Amino acid sequence: MPPEQTPESLCDLLRAVGVDQDKAAFAELFAFFAPRLKSFYLRGGAANATAEEMVQETLLLVWRKAAMFDASLAGASTWIFAIARNHRIDRFRRERRFTQLEDHMLDAEVAEDPKGDETVYAAQTETRLHNAIQELPPQQVEVLQLSFFENRSHSEIASHLKLPIGTVKSRLRLAFGKLRAGLEDIWE
Amino acid sequence: MINHHPSTELLLSYVAGNLAPGFSLAVASHASMCSDCRKRIAHGESIGGALLYSMEPAEVSEDALEEVLARIETGCLPGDNGDHITLHGKSEAPDPLRSFVPGAFDDLPWRTLAPGMKHIRLPVDEDSAAKVRLIRLAPGVATPAHSHRGHELTLVLKGSFSDELGRFGPGDIQETDASVSHQPMADTGEDCVCLIVTDAPLKFDNLVGKILQPIFGY
């Protein structure tokens, strides 16, 4: 069994990869993220073999870009989510992508003044968000997941759930509003 | 001062990677002009991260890690589409648009649509029904009144316009759909330059617009 990971331990592992090209740390990250990324791509509609390949490519990108990871700006899961999302866009569209990789997060302006230990800050955000998501009504979590994982537009989510599109949008708005309000003290 | 921002739903679609390229370009361009929205995007990405963290794991092939480590050994690492964007020179447009607007808006090869109204089609998502273009209105000039079959995103890059929905200045973004009929007019002494993305042809409300339709090519 792989060891239990927390947002903090994942940040430490990713930093070890970035700073020291630590392969043991990379193997631990792999054990945690590869199965989750596999689900992510499968739910996005990729066939098993394609999803497998995309997982490997994503983790190679993680290895290559790890030196750019800054734990004061984003947690490990957030940083890897952005890489995976971009990889999915690149894979299925030939066209250039206009979501710049991690640029938004690496923007120094975006990082609110971290309170206390900087490196704990982003991981703490992830832990608290993770808990806050558990507190959301299940219907709101469902639309978030359909939107983030299954690559569906709001009208596709609406027809999938047999709901008016206004309901889908208001659930997303409510969920985002609640999550932001819950992290107000660190997200200002 | 930016007063009109993308809706939460639009921003979350952008963060999730679900927008068509032209819409993504418009949101990215707005974000590069708006620090509040860069924050909202970072928050959305954190939500994506938290969802990934708690995702139900799926089975990965047994030798996947070995294969990846072997590829690291050989140094055969993948690139991605984010790698090759180099920016040089000074552009009047926000960064995501710089490859289309290398310098001043004045230097672009504008094509006249109607008196006081020029446009350029940008080569984005050309295989789809979406149209991505820059529009330039001379002071006091209005587009023909129109409504929409699909969605339209308008980002003001320079100058300002007013319509039934309000006043829009640099960095402001307007989201309209089939429920909206409007007639934007450049409302100051300078030209108004906008990025406009549509995913379906417009519907013009009067004869002049209908005659212009083939020229507009919306």
- Chains A, B: CB contacts within 8 A come to 203
Q: Among A6-15, A29-38, A126-135, A179-188, which stretch is predicted with the lowest mean pLDDT?
A: A179-188
Cβ atoms of residues B180 and B165 within 8 Å: yes
Query: What is the model's pLDDT at position B1?
Result: 87
- Looking at residue B216, what is its pLDDT? 58
Q: Which amino acid is at B99?
A: S
pLDDT at B151: 87
Residue B155's pLDDT is 97
Closest CB to B67: pick one of A56, A126, A173.
Answer: A56
- Cβ–Cβ below 8 Å for B17 and A177: no
Whether the per-residue pLDDT at A135 is higher than 90: the answer is yes
DSSP code for A107? -
Closest approach of chain A CAs to the CA of B173, in angstroms?
A: 17
Query: By three-state DSSP, how is residue A74 classified?
Result: coil
pLDDT at B78: 76
**What's the average model confidence in pLDDT over A149-157?**
88
Cβ neighbours of A63 (radius 10 Å) = 22
Cβ atoms B13, B41 nearer than 8 A: no
Overall size of chain A counted in residues = 188
pLDDT at residue number A102 = 43
Which residue among A26, A35, A90 places its CB closest to the CB of B80? A90
**CA dist A171 → A70, A135, A167, A168, B55 (Å):** 32, 14, 6, 5, 20
For residues A84-101, give the mean pLDDT.
Answer: 72
The predicted structure's pLDDT at residue A152: 85
pLDDT score of A105 more than 50? no
Q: What is the mean pLDDT of chain A?
A: 85
| Cα–Cα nearest to A79, from B45, B153, B124 | B45
- In this predicted structure, what is the pLDDT of residue A101? 44
pLDDT at site A151:
81
pLDDT at B57: 95
Where along chain A do its domains lie? 1-121, 136-188
The answer to whether domain A1-121 and domain A136-188 are alike in fold is no
Say how far apart CA A171 and CA A94 lie, in whole Å: 32
Looking at residue A158, what is its pLDDT?
94
* A7/A91 Cα distance (integer angstroms): 28
- Closest-CA distance, A11 to chain B, in angstroms, reads 12
**What CATH number does the domain located at A136-188 have?**
1.10.10.10
CA gap A82, A100 in Å, rounded = 10
pLDDT at A111 exceeding the cut of 80: no
Measure the CA–CA gap between B48 and B142, rounded to whole angstroms: 41
Q: Which residue of A has its CA nearest to B33?
A: A104
Amino acid at B9: E
d(CA B148, CA B104): 30
pLDDT (mean) for A161-186? 91
Verify whether the Cβ–Cβ distance B13 to A154 is below 8 Å: yes
- Residue A108 — very low, low, confident or very high, per pLDDT cuts 50/70/90? very low
pLDDT at A112: 47
- For range A113-133, the mean pLDDT: 73
Do residues B149 and B178 touch, judged by C-beta distance below 8 A? Answer: yes
pLDDT value for B82: 55
Q: What is the pLDDT of residue A4?
A: 85
Q: For residue B218, what pLDDT is reported?
A: 47
The CA distances from residue A2 to A33, A35, A76, B48, B131, in Å, are: 11, 12, 17, 23, 49
Q: What's the gap in Å between the CA of B47 and the closest CA on chain A?
A: 7
- Greater confidence (A79 vs A2) lies with A79
10-residue mean pLDDT profile of chain B (218 residues): values are 94 92 93 92 93 94 93 80 59 90 94 93 85 94 82 94 94 89 90 92 65 57
> Could you tell me the domains of chain B?
95-216 (2.60.120.10)
Tell me the residue length of chain B. 218
Helices (H), chain A: 7-20, 23-43, 48-65, 76-92, 103-106, 118-135, 138-149, 154-161, 165-182, 184-187
Alpha carbon B88 to its chain's center:
21
Fold of A1-121: Rna Polymerase Sigma Factor; Chain: A (1.10.1740)
pLDDT at residue number B217: 52
Q: How confident is the model at residue A34 (pLDDT cuts 50, 70, 90)?
A: very high
